[in-house]
Structure 1
Amino acid sequence: MSAAEPRTIVLFRHAKADWPQVSDHERPLADRGRHDAPVAGRRLAETGIDFDLALCSTAVRTRETWKLAVHELPHRPKTVYEERVYEASPGELISVLNETLEDVRSIILIGHNPGVQGLAEILAGQYEDDARARMNDRGFPTSAFAVLSHTGSWKSLEPGVGTLTEFWAPGA
């Protein structure tokens, strides 16, 4: 694959988590999260994106979200559970994405706010349709995802180089 070919990045916020007496990293999904994650997975399948790689935070709620969502996809991508995605800033997430192998065309990152929302806002230098308005109106609620396209190598991923092509949130 040449570096000039388009690449797709999906930033997927974990589903609604519960607040039991455990550390933040160990928080499981709430009932609503267990309902919304497969719904988000079905909507991800409707995008037609054939993911080559999933990068998922190691937190319990992100792993549970991905486990429920991925079953709705027609193809299960290679999944890497990446500790650096947990509590990462947008800059730290860009650094993780910069390490992606060049033969990967499409990637889904399952993570947390405020990093996921911040990364969507920072990467998007352009917008299609009303994706920006929908993201701005809704914020970036649990189970939401943003789809961005980028032409260039993963190493060239930096603020403003992407196009926000779609934003989806449950109930939208």
Structure 2
Amino acid sequence: MTRRLLLLRHAKAVAIAGPAGEAGDHARDLSDRGRQDASRLGDVLRSQGLQPDLALVSSALRTRHTWDLLAPFVEPVPTLVISKRIYLAEAEDLLFLLRETAEEIGAVMLVGHNPGLHELALHFARAGGDTVGLDSGMPTCALAQFDVIGRWSDLKPLNTERFQMIRS
């Protein structure tokens, strides 16, 4: 069974004024541009038929609001899991989280943060030999799509193919 993995970096957030620490960063909201980009990406998801069965979303405000703007474009609405484990997680931690996905799930969208999200996407893309669009980073509101061969519990870079980068 081929599964689909959608790695989405949150939309553009407002800047932090001064040293806000983790609590201030976690509470950052989307900027006007971020809200517009997320809505446009929702249109792209619908037009390309990119329908997740499960949305794994960081507990940070900017990722939750990114998802809130995408959700109306996704029918039927997938199961939503908001997790602090995704907030500023390293690539390896995100991989472990994805491996916990129930096997009956066909498509997962993970909404998270750089640098971990970018590193994970780059790791998968390199295994397939195509890193176009990821070499210089993963911009806000960018989606990396991968087809996954095999079980979620066995997820590793060599089990992915057909990488595609989508921007709003």
TM-score (norm: length of structure 1): 0.88
Distance 1:74 1:91 in 2: 30
Aligned to 2:128: 126
- What is the deviation of 1:19? 2.1
CA RMSD after TM alignment: 1.6
Output the amino acid matched with 1:51. P
- What is the deviation of 1:166? 1.1
- Within a 5 Å distance, the mapping from 1:103-122 to structure 2 comes to 103-122=104-123
**Alignment gaps of 5+ in structure 2:** none
Q: Does 1:166 align with 2:164?
A: yes
Contact 1:122–1:160, Cα closer than 8 Å, also in 2: no
- Within a 5 Å distance, the mapping from 1:80-159 to structure 2 comes to 80-124=81-125, 125-126=127-128, 132-136=131-135, 139-159=137-157
Contact 2:45–2:51, Cα closer than 8 Å, also in 1: no
Name the stretch that deviates more: 160-169 or 30-39: 160-169
- Say which of 4, 29, 32 aligns to 1:8: 4
Deviation readout 1:47-101 (Å, 9 max, x if unpaired):
2132110000000000000000111223211110011010111100000001000
Q: How many residues were matched structurally? A: 162
Output the amino acid matched with 2:82. Y
**Alignment gaps of 5+ in structure 1:** none
Contact 1:98–1:156, Cα closer than 8 Å, also in 2: yes
- Within a 5 Å distance, the mapping from 1:72-83 to structure 2 comes to 72-83=73-84
Distance 1:82 1:42 in 2: 25
TM-score (norm: length of structure 2): 0.90
For residue 110 of structure 1, give the secondary structure of its aligned residue in structure 2.
Answer: strand
Distance 2:95 2:15 in 1: 29
Aligned to 1:29: 30
Deviation readout 1:15-34 (Å, 9 max, x if unpaired):
00002455110000011101
Stretches (4+) displaced over 4 A = none
Percent of pairs with identical residues: 37
For residue 138 of structure 2, give the secondary structure of its aligned residue in structure 1.
Answer: coil
Contact 2:4–2:146, Cα closer than 8 Å, also in 1: yes
